[in-house]
């Protein structure tokens, strides 16, 4: 067997590529057939103190969650953070997932109204996922602002 592999390296390599291609294609097809769900939830966070730099802090928290700023309205105190399926998982096994967090700062940054939209297949577009995203966001934000 080892002699066959060594003498037919190109054939073995081509067969391995073909097998990998078939595997990826079938997994992507399975993902494409799975139902995509979305969920939108509204949440709130009250901070102990007003923060003039709250939008910058929220942006930093978003970066730590692999989210990018996708919208910003400084005069209104609104920032939107989002992510999507750009990690190759869509092509590898057909997973679709996106997260969007919209935050409106009120009372000089002391109160935050938060809207979370999650979407995707394989359990990523449901309420439990939105709650998970909110809890992670809240934990990291409170840690960053030093809230008790």
pLDDT: which is higher, 41 or 4: 41
pLDDT: which is higher, 88 or 135: 135
Check whether residue 12 and residue 42 sit in a common domain.
no
Please state the pTM of the whole predicted model: 0.72
- Of the candidates 62, 64, 63, 77, the one whose C-alpha atom is nearest the C-alpha of residue 116 is 62
Is there a contact between 98 and 16 (Cβ–Cβ < 8 Å)?
Answer: no
Check whether residue 10 and residue 77 sit in a common domain.
no
Alpha carbons 100 and 129: distance in angstroms, whole number: 12
pLDDT at 105 > cutoff 90: yes
pLDDT: which is higher, 148 or 112: 112
Q: What percentage of the chain exceeds 90 in pLDDT? A: 45
- Of the candidates 38, 37, 39, 57, the one whose C-alpha atom is nearest the C-alpha of residue 47 is 57
Q: What is the CA radius of gyration of the chain?
A: 22
**Where residue 93 sits, what CATH number does that domain have?**
3.30.530.20
Residue 43 has a pLDDT of 96
Q: Range of 59's domain?
A: 34-145
Check whether residue 18 and residue 43 sit in a common domain.
no
């Amino acid at each position: 067997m080892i002699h066959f592999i060594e003498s037919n390296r190109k054939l073995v390599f081509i067969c391995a590529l073909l097998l990998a291609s078939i595997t990826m294609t079938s997994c992507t097809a399975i993902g494409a057939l799975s139902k995509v769900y979305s969920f939108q939830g509204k949440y709130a966070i009250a901070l102990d103190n007003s923060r003039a730099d709250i939008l910058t802090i929220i942006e930093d928290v978003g970066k730590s969650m692999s989210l990018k700023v996708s919208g910003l309205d400084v005069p209104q105190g609104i920032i939107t953070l989002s992510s999507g399926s750009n990690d190759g998982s869509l092509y590898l096994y057909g997973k679709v997932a996106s997260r969007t967090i919209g935050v409106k700062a009120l009372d000089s940054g002391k109160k935050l109204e938060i809207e979370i939209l999650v979407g995707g297949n394989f359990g990523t577009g449901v309420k439990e996922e939105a709650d998970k995203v909110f809890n992670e966001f809240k934990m990291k934000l409170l840690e960053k602002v030093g809230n008790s």
